[in-house]
Amino acid sequence: YMLHNLPFGRKIGPRAAPHGNGRRLEPGMVRIPGGKAVLGLPRGEAFGWDNEYQRHSIDVAPFALGKYKVTNGEYLAFVEAGAAAPPFWVSRSGRWFYRGMFEEIPLPLDWPVYVSQDQAAAYAAWAGKRLPTEAEYQLAAFGSGDETALSLDPARDNFDFREWDPVPVNASRENKFGVVQLVGNGWEWTSTVFQPFPGFEPFSFYPGYSANFFDGQHYVMKGASQRTAAKLVRPSFRNWFRGSYPYAYATFRVAEN
């Protein structure tokens, strides 16, 4: 965030920064069959942070999930209806612009919108929908058991520092359910409060890494942003922020029963 908000003149960007385009995408919902969402890691297999243990399953009923992340174009209608603008948007002479890492550009309508969890939940309610739970996200992204529903590519899916700014929400391939870009191009907010999994034990070398945030005010984010290292892009990884925090590279998609 601090680097993002440095004056443009103090940063040297790539020669050809992505601009997206002005096209609005048609939002759509994809039906996800019910099943068991597998969350967390089994102890002893590989490194994970303390909040990733212990592995367990949650039964998830069938639900529908947005095919794409919510775009700037979709969120613009919410702003025009009276909602506050996202933090990276700038209004000039009646037009909206996006403050990117290296320049200000006309608002790319097909990029994901970056907002707080409070803003995401408010948009979902305004649209007659809701945010997905952590377990719903997990099932849609990774399937049940050890099955993987994703085939990831840092360059295409926009993580591991491949781009400075977002890319269009339809830049990735559909997964086996027909959902696009569940990992990369922005963390995805869920409606799940950040809490310990059953069997949680704080790490002795960093006891406050997770436990200090089990306060009922932080929400789980899943996936990855363009600033997420590849080694953190694993099904069990959990990120979190306060619901009111607006400056993460965090987006969302809507769900419904």
From 1.10.3720.10, 3.90.1580.10, 3.20.20.70, 1.10.645.10, which CATH number describes the 20-256 domain?
3.90.1580.10
pLDDT at 154: 86
pLDDT at 5: 77
How many whole angstroms separate alpha carbon 160 and alpha carbon 165? Answer: 12
Domain boundaries, the chain: 20-256
Report DSSP state, residue 187: E
pLDDT at 13: 77
pLDDT(217) > 90: yes
- Give the residue-averaged pLDDT of 13-21: 64
For the beta carbon of residue 20, count every other beta carbon within 10 angstroms. 23
Return the structure tokens found at 146.
């050890």
pLDDT tens readout for residues 118-162: 999 999 999 999 999 999 999 999 987 654 555 678 888 999 998
How many whole angstroms separate alpha carbon 103 and alpha carbon 164? Answer: 11
pLDDT band at 100 (very low <50, low <70, confident <90, very high): confident
